[in-house]
Amino acid sequence: MRISVEEVFETVQMTMDQNFDIRTVTLGINLKDCMSRNANEFNKAVEERIVKMGTRLNKYADSIEAKYGVPITNRRISITPASLLLEPLPKTISTVVRFAKTLDRAAKKANIDFIGGFGAMIQKGMTSSDENMLRALPTALAQTNRVCSFLNLGTTLAGINMTAVERVGHLLKDLASRSPNGIGCAKIVVFANAPEDNPFMAGAHHGVGEPDYSLNVGISGPGVVRAVVSKNPDCDLTELSEVIKRTVFKITRAGELIGREMAKLMDVDFGIIDISLASTTAIGDSVAEIIEAMGVTQMGRPGSTAALALLIDAVKKGGAMASGNVGGLSGTFIPVSEDMGMIKAVEDGSLNIEKLEALTSVCSVGLDMFAVPGDTPAHVLSAIIADELAIGMANNKTTGVRVIPAPGKKVGDIVHFGGLLGSATIMAIHQDASPAFINRKGRIPAPIKALRN
């Protein structure tokens, strides 16, 4: 893959003026060969491998960052789903918590920002190890800082595990009560159709179909896209789509160059480049502001869904033109707390939970980083999750939920999470949703489109 001098200069300008960065390099690590019936041997082997590979990841990320001048904001590791790794060990909460602390300690030693994969694939049913994982998650996440968790509760082929969905509502309430402002809930995401090569937290994990090691890159660039949209205020939407496609093409090329070189230096497989536009709280680095630059008066008002659909399609087409290794989530994140435009839309009343759900029907990844009153019942949280997973299941796309029931907070209050997680205005939510429906449990069958063989 040849990169022209002009492309290099364009990338430098995007970096200096428009907040372009490599949002994350995430090293996927297979830990299945560390499995053991001896907990001491297992935890020792896991810690040694993560420290070794995490240290190398940081070393080469620093080297590439200095060489190209493009910031690599986060260095992360994803592992084989933890519930699978814990199968041979005693099914106790202490077993799970000890493993979480091992991961946390190893990530700290290697100076890794987050380590993901502490979760389970339970879209159709649960093993005893999965059950134990769910019981232990509130304690494990409350007692660690860098460990992130995922739960895949539905797929287009399997349907939705509503027994697990019902339990997760209670899990989130428990976890929120154990952490300041409920921030522990920011470290767990519930998925339908979770991809195995996702580099973004909290949902990253190293799938069982992956090689021993795989370097996945998550780019960013909402500021870059917003800038080019703002420079084209009079073109029609067809032309605007082309402008966005060309911009994402350039972003993707830069990301793949860096990812491939890092993988070569580390002597691991290059996995995928995730072309998701990931917002931050930095001024101008907002997906909502892209939508508004298109001509929608404020995110959440009529026209927002159509504009977001155009944006997502252009992002995917531009990325697919630039690379044959596009994967992961690859779309647009619309996290409420991490995007200044989204925060303002909630504060001004333009964006509510119902419109947010409608927006997720055309975007990746779903209902992300939004806060609700701390006294929201568990069955309401489960119902929100069920609705969002149903969108993913029925439309054969990845959807997810990161909802934070902030203890002691009421509608209109503002809760501050700090750093990349930003701040969120507590959103209004119906406090009496569907208790009888959620308490039926069982499984929502897969749609007929699952029978494609």
Q: What digits encode the pLDDT tens for the residues 352-397?
A: 999 999 999 988 678 989 999 999 999 999 999 999 999 999 999 9
- Which two tokens mark 282? 């930095």
Give the pLDDT mean for 429-434. 89
Coil, strand, or helix at residue 328? coil
The residues facing 160 across adjacent strands are: 154, 444
pTM: 0.91
- Which two tokens mark 110? 């290697």
On average, the pLDDT of the chain sits at 90
Q: What is the pLDDT of residue 15?
A: 54
pLDDT band at 330 (very low <50, low <70, confident <90, very high): confident
Domain 1-453 has CATH 3.40.50.2300: no
Q: Given a cut of 90, is residue 432 above it in pLDDT?
A: no
Closest to 215 measured CA to CA, from 258, 163, 151: 258
pLDDT band at 453 (very low <50, low <70, confident <90, very high): low
Q: Given a cut of 80, is residue 307 above it in pLDDT?
A: yes
Q: What is the pLDDT of residue 5?
A: 47
Could you say which DSSP state residue 167 is in?
Answer: H
Interacting residues of 29 by C-beta distance below 8 A, sequence separation 6+: 49, 50, 53, 77, 78, 79, 80, 206, 212, 213
Give the pLDDT mean for 323-342. 86
Give the pLDDT mean for 207-232. 89
CB 320 within 8 A of CB 187: no
Angle between the N-to-C axes of helices 222-230 and 237-266, in degrees from 0 to 180, rounded to the nearest 10: 150
Backbone angles phi, psi at 159, to 5 degrees: 90, -155
Q: What is the pLDDT of residue 257?
A: 85
Interacting residues of 450 by C-beta distance below 8 A, sequence separation 6+: 156, 157, 158, 159
The residues facing 151 across adjacent strands are: 120, 190
Q: What is the pLDDT of residue 82?
A: 97
The 10 Å CB-count burial string (b at 16+, else e) for 138-173 is bbbbbebebbbbbbbbbbbbbbbbbebbbbbbbbbb
- Which two tokens mark 10? 């364009």
Please report, for residues 82, 338, 343, 404, the alpha-carbon distance to residue 423 in angstroms, rounded to integers and kept in the order given: 30, 7, 8, 12
Q: What is the pLDDT of residue 328?
A: 86
Q: In this predicted model, what pLDDT tens digit does every residue of 4-57 receive, in sequence order?
A: 545 555 555 555 455 567 888 999 999 999 999 999 999 999 999 999 999 999
Give the pLDDT mean for 315-325. 90
Q: Given a cut of 70, is residue 424 above it in pLDDT?
A: yes
The length of the chain in residues reads 453
pLDDT higher for 452 or 299? Answer: 299
Closest to 81 measured CA to CA, from 113, 109, 47, 115: 115
Closest to 143 measured CA to CA, from 190, 184, 185, 89: 184
What H or E segment, with its residue span, contains residue 379?
helix 378-395
Q: Given a cut of 90, is residue 71 above it in pLDDT?
A: no
Q: Given a cut of 90, is residue 163 above it in pLDDT?
A: yes
Taking the domains of the chain in order of start, what are their residue ranges? Answer: 1-453
- Which two tokens mark 124? 């159709």
Q: What is the pLDDT of residue 334?
A: 85
Q: Given a cut of 90, is residue 402 above it in pLDDT?
A: yes
pLDDT band at 274 (very low <50, low <70, confident <90, very high): confident
Q: What is the pLDDT of residue 24?
A: 87
Give the pLDDT mean for 94-103. 98
Q: Given a cut of 80, is residue 293 above it in pLDDT?
A: yes
Residue 50: Cβ-neighbour burial (10 angstroms; 0-12, 13-18, 19+) = buried
Percent of the chain with pLDDT over 90: 68
What H or E segment, with its residue span, contains residue 140?
helix 128-142
pLDDT band at 256 (very low <50, low <70, confident <90, very high): confident
